[in-house]
């Protein structure tokens, strides 16, 4: 046994707290797919801030994975922020031009935008403004 290993063993034996820390397993590292899935689950539970952080982490973990951008776009779309949502869907499409989730989501945003325009022109005022 090397001297360094002996010192470490003595430290662990003399300090239960240090021994517990040294023996504690590292938390699992999630990949971008798992992070995006966790973001969607957090959103379903109504934990919007956590969902945003998880989806952003998914993008950082693998910026070449379009589903991570789709997840973040979905969160923004669900929170009535279509401009942010569209930005992330477009980033997903720049990675994979045939990404079906981003294509459907942008079409949905476009339909919702057309509905708002129709409401404005029908009565001359923007929706929600007296």
Query: How confident is the model over 118-128, as pLDDT tens digits?
Result: 444 444 454 44
Q: Is the pLDDT of residue 92 over 80?
A: yes
Provide the greatest CA pair distance for the chain. 84
Q: Is the pLDDT of residue 114 over 50?
A: yes
pLDDT of residue 1: 47
CATH number of 32-123: 1.25.40.10
Asked if 91 and 60 touch (Cβ cutoff 8 Å), the reply is no
Q: Where in the chain is the domain with CATH 1.25.40.10?
A: 32-123
Tokens of 19: 């021994």
Distance CA 73, CA 87 (A): 7
**What's the pLDDT band for 10 if we cut at 50, 70, 90?**
very low
Return the number of other C-beta atoms located less than 10 Å from residue 10's C-beta: 10
Task: Match 């966790």 to its residue by tokens.
Answer: 38
**Closest C-alpha to 74, from 98, 41, 116:** 41
Segment 31-88, tens digit of pLDDT = 999 999 999 999 999 999 999 999 999 999 999 999 999 999 999 999 999 999 999 9
Mean residue pLDDT of the chain comes to 79
């Amino acid at each position: 046994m090397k001297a360094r290993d002996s010192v470490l063993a003595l430290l662990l034996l003399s300090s239960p707290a240090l021994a517990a820390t040294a023996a504690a397993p590292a938390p699992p590292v999630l990949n971008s797919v798992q992070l995006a899935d966790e973001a969607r689950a957090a959103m379903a539970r109504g934990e919007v801030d956590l969902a945003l952080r998880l989806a952003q982490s998914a993008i950082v973990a693998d910026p070449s994975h379009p589903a991570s951008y789709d997840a973040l776009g979905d969160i923004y779309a669900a929170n009535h922020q279509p401009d942010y949502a569209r930005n992330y869907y477009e980033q997903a499409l720049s990675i994979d031009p045939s990404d079906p989730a981003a294509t459907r989501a942008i079409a949905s945003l476009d339909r919702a935008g057309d509905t708002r325009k129709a409401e404005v022109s029908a009565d001359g005022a923007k929706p929600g403004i007296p």
